[in-house]
């Protein structure tokens, strides 16, 4: 009987201990769950701006997310050519049709005269005039927006007029209009937003029916 009573007491004590431990464990779990819930309500609000900032930073870092280039704003240029398709010189207006293509029209004019006397009353005089209208198209897509390798070509209409007078009786006059073809290749500096224009390169000229004339060009001007 004593043994039975002792076993019964031990069993009851074990059961009570188990119940107490279970209750304590349940209370701790409830406390931790409440703490996690409160943290979960706070942390997202604290992390929200940082997450947005990080997303913005990541978006800015991506190559495709960069702002598009504004393109060429200064599409007009005026420059003077030394030599070039105008043969001696030309004053030119240049218009950028697209970011990679431009067209130019120019004008050149020269006129001079000379006279001489032999001291015996015989005089002679001669005059010369020349004008040209060069028309060219250039490709500007090799290089950057401000500095590029320019290639192109076109033509020029040229007129040469000569006159001569011996004393006051024998007068000679001649005029000829020609069409010339030209190609050009060289360096071109033209800021996309306007400013100083500099060009230098080669521009051989071929007058139809005649030989090719080796030539080059040097241009100074401004874009706007």
143-152 confidence digits (pLDDT tens)? 999 999 999 9
The rounded distance, in Å, linking the Cα atoms of 149 and 161 is 37
In the block, which residue shows the tokens 């107490």? 20
Q: What is the mean pLDDT of residues 25-29?
A: 56
Q: What is the mean pLDDT of residues 131-147?
A: 96
List, as own/partner pairs, every contact residues 141-147 make where C-beta atoms lie below 8 angstroms and the sequence separation is at least 24, other chains included: 141/99, 141/100, 141/101, 145/69, 145/72, 145/99, 145/191, 145/192, 146/189, 146/190, 146/191, 146/192, 147/187, 147/188, 147/189
| Tens-place pLDDT, residues 80-119 | 999 999 999 999 999 999 989 999 999 999 998 887 877 6
The band of 169, judged by pLDDT with boundaries at 50, 70 and 90, is low
> Does 30 have pLDDT greater than 60?
no
pTM recorded for the entire structure: 0.64
């Amino acid at each position: 009987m004593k043994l039975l009573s002792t076993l019964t007491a031990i069993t009851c004590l074990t059961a009570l201990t188990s119940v107490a431990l279970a209750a304590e464990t349940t209370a701790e779990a409830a406390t931790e769950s409440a703490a996690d819930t409160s943290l979960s309500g706070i942390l997202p609000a604290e992390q929200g701006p940082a997450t947005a900032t990080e997303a913005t930073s990541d978006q800015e870092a991506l190559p495709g997310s960069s702002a598009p280039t504004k393109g060429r704003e200064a599409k007009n240029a005026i420059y003077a050519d030394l030599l070039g398709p105008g043969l001696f010189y030309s004053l030119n207006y240049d218009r950028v049709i697209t970011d990679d293509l431009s067209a130019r029209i120019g004008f050149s004019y020269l006129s001079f005269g000379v006279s001489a006397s032999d001291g015996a009353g015989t005089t002679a005089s001669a005059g010369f005039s020349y004008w040209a209208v060069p028309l060219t198209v250039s490709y500007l897509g090799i290089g950057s927006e401000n500095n590029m390798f320019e290639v192109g070509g076109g033509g020029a209409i040229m007129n040469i007029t000569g006159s001569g007078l011996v004393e006051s009786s024998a007068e000679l006059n001649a005029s000829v209009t020609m069409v010339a073809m030209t190609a050009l290749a060289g360096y071109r500096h033209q800021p996309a937003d306007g400013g100083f224009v500099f060009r230098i390169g080669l521009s051989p000229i071929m007058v139809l029916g005649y030989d090719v004339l080796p030539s080059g060009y040097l241009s100074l001007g401004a874009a706007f």
